[in-house]
């Protein structure tokens, strides 16, 4: 398959341009002709253009906040009976982010040429994920596109709010730990060697254990600071690459759920992602198995993805959704119990909304508790480190003073 850049005129005589994917130029012409387009020019994108397109794909993601704003505006325009193409063009004029603006322009051209909105959105997976595309497709099928867009906007806004709260709670401890690590590295490699030099000149005088340990650590860091930086960078890069593998994602997914204090909080976060997204696709008219497949890709944890895969198999065999969740130690028992009630009463979407509301409150409470708990822990750890270093410096001086 190759990408072909085209310029054409539609049935109204308007000039449009875009990119079509086809096996060859003849196939591309057939595709465009099938959309009632008169092709003016057609060029295959080769070499550097493809590289630039791939490079652009790496940086073309859009924040949840920007996407939520776009969805809200599009829903308002469509609910006001404005045609989709015109709504997209109006939206493109109001959009500031260049990558999102370019995507909307191309999507409007595709839709104007006869492509379904969901199919046009699917060409930008870095911006509109599988969940988004399937929801729009269900809205097109049911004739409730404006309602679906409102649901999606609400989803994006809530996801952004949840993500911001979790990240905000982690900023303070991450900043403090980073400063302590950098300050400790500078202290041990540049400042402490000058102070510890006089202790090395004591000759046969027995230095206290903390002082001897500090001298060994300082000498190693001073002589091999470059090795420490290389090992840290290698560990970081290697860890990132490992996490991208299936086995690495599972190890990381399980590890993050077992972290003391933070583990239960992350369980609530993944639970809310699942229940909110699953409830949204059910409201959009998507079947349970299809909805589970869509939701699987946006939960963000391999452990939960495996649970959803197993749930899909169980549902297709005629078993309830709650059957797999009730056996997992990483899913709160309340979730499986309420899912069972929702299935028995036929109100699964309402139950999912209630679960989402409950655990969103739990997340807010958990974040406050974590922030409250982390501050004294950091202070204690820093205090102990400072106390050890001070003791390593003061004790030899005290021994010398008492010796004379």
- Inter-residue contact 218 to 228 (CB < 8 Å): no
Q: Domain span at residue 388?
A: 179-404
Q: What is the DSSP string of 116-129?
A: -HHHHHTT-TTTS-
Q: Give me the residue label for tokens 């480190």.
A: 385
Instruction: Report the distance separating Cα 309 and Cα 324, nearest Å.
Output: 10
Instruction: Indicate if 49 and 69 belong to the same structural domain.
Output: no
Instruction: Indicate if 26 and 106 belong to the same structural domain.
Output: no
pTM of the entire predicted model: 0.66
- Asked if the structure places residue 171 within a domain, the reply is no
Kindly report the CATH number assigned to the domain that includes residue 102.
Answer: 1.20.81.30
Instruction: Indicate if 294 and 323 belong to the same structural domain.
Output: yes
Residue 283 is predicted with a pLDDT of 80
3-state secondary structure (DSSP) of residue 222: helix
Residue 50 is predicted with a pLDDT of 41
- Asked if the structure places residue 372 within a domain, the reply is yes
- Asked if the structure places residue 86 within a domain, the reply is yes
- Asked if the structure places residue 174 within a domain, the reply is no
Instruction: Indicate if 273 and 330 belong to the same structural domain.
Output: yes
Biggest CA-to-CA distance, the chain: 103
Residue 234 is predicted with a pLDDT of 94
Instruction: Indicate if 41 and 110 belong to the same structural domain.
Output: no
- Inter-residue contact 248 to 242 (CB < 8 Å): yes
Instruction: Indicate if 151 and 183 belong to the same structural domain.
Output: no
What is the full per-residue pLDDT of the chain (404 aa) written as tens digits? Answer: 566 777 777 666 666 766 666 666 766 777 777 767 777 777 775 544 444 443 344 444 677 778 888 888 888 888 888 888 898 888 888 888 888 888 888 888 888 888 888 888 888 877 887 778 877 887 787 777 887 888 778 777 877 887 787 777 778 778 888 888 888 888 888 877 777 777 666 655 677 788 788 888 888 888 888 898 899 899 999 998 998 888 888 999 999 999 887 888 889 988 988 898 888 888 877 788 888 887 887 788 889 989 999 999 999 888 888 888 888 888 888 998 999 999 888 888 899 989 999 998 998 888 888 878 877 888 888 888 888 878 877 877 776 666 55
CA dihedral 335, 338, 344, 345 (to 10 degrees): -140
| 110, HSE (Cβ side, Cα atoms, 13 Å) | 22
Instruction: Indicate if 311 and 369 belong to the same structural domain.
Output: yes
Which of the listed residues 94, 123, 156 is the one where a domain comes to its end?
156
Instruction: Report the distance separating Cα 302 and Cα 138, nearest Å.
Output: 27
List C-alpha distances in Å: 288 to 30, 130, 278, 374.
37, 16, 8, 40
Instruction: Indicate if 327 and 391 belong to the same structural domain.
Output: yes
Residue 201: left (phi > 0), alpha (psi -120 to 50), or beta?
Answer: alpha
3-state secondary structure (DSSP) of residue 10: coil
- Inter-residue contact 100 to 66 (CB < 8 Å): yes
Instruction: Indicate if 265 and 148 belong to the same structural domain.
Output: no
Q: Helix crossing, 145-186 with 262-283: angle to 10°?
A: 160
Residue 200 is predicted with a pLDDT of 64
- Asked if the structure places residue 204 within a domain, the reply is yes
- Asked if the structure places residue 342 within a domain, the reply is yes
Rg (CA), the chain: 29
- Asked if the structure places residue 32 within a domain, the reply is yes
Instruction: Indicate if 85 and 217 belong to the same structural domain.
Output: no
Instruction: Indicate if 280 and 356 belong to the same structural domain.
Output: yes
Residue 52 is predicted with a pLDDT of 40
Instruction: Indicate if 27 and 89 belong to the same structural domain.
Output: no
The vertex-365 CA angle with 363 and 366, nearest 5°, equals 60
- Inter-residue contact 397 to 196 (CB < 8 Å): no
Q: Give me the residue label for tokens 């990240």.
A: 167
- Inter-residue contact 132 to 297 (CB < 8 Å): no
- Asked if the structure places residue 293 within a domain, the reply is yes
Counted domains in the chain: 3
């Amino acid at each position: 398959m190759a990408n072909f850049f085209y310029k054409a005129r539609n049935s109204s005589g308007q000039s449009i341009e875009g990119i079509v994917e086809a096996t060859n130029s003849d196939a591309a012409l057939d595709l465009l002709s099938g959309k009632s387009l008169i092709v003016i020019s057609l060029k295959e994108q080769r070499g550097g253009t493809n590289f630039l397109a791939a490079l652009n794909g790496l940086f073309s993601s859009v924040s949840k906040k920007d996407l939520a704003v776009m969805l809200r505006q599009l829903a308002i325009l469509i609910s006001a009976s404005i045609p989709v193409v015109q709504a997209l063009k109006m939206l493109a004029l109001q959009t500031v982010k260049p990558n999102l603006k370019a995507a909307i322009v191309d999507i409007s051209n595709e839709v104007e040429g006869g492509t379904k909105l969901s199919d046009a959105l699917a060409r930008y997976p870095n911006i509109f994920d599988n969940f988004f595309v399937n929801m729009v497709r269900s809205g097109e099928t049911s004739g409730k596109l404006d309602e679906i867009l409102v649901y999606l906007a609400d989803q994006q806004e809530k996801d952004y709010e949840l993500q911001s709260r979790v990240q905000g709670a982690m900023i303070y401890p991450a900043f403090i730990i980073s400063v302590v690590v950098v300050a400790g590295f500078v202290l041990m490699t540049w400042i402490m060697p000058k102070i510890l030099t006089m202790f090395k000149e004591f000759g046969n005088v027995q230095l206290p254990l903390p002082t001897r340990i500090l001298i060994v650590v300082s000498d190693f860091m001073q002589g091999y600071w470059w090795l420490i930086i290389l090992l840290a960078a290698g560990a970081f890069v290697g860890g990132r690459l490992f996490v991208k593998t299936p086995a690495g994602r599972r190890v990381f997914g399980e590890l993050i759920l077992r972290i003391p204090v933070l583990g239960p909080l992350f369980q609530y976060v993944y639970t809310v992602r699942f229940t909110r997204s699953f409830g949204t696709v059910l409201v959009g008219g998507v079947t349970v198995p299809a909805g589970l497949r869509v939701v699987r890709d946006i939960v963000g944890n391999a452990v939960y993805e495996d649970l959803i895969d197993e749930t899909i198999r169980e549902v297709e065999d005629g078993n309830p959704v709650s059957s797999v969740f009730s056996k997992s130690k990483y899913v709160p028992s309340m979730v499986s119990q309420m899912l069972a009630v929702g299935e028995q009463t036929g109100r699964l979407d309402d139950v999912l909304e209630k679960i989402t509301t409950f655990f969103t409150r739990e997340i807010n409470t958990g974040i406050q508790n974590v922030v409250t708990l982390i501050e004294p822990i950091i202070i204690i750890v820093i205090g102990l480190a400072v106390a050890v270093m001070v003791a390593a410096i003061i004790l030899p001086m005290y021994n010398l003073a008492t010796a004379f």
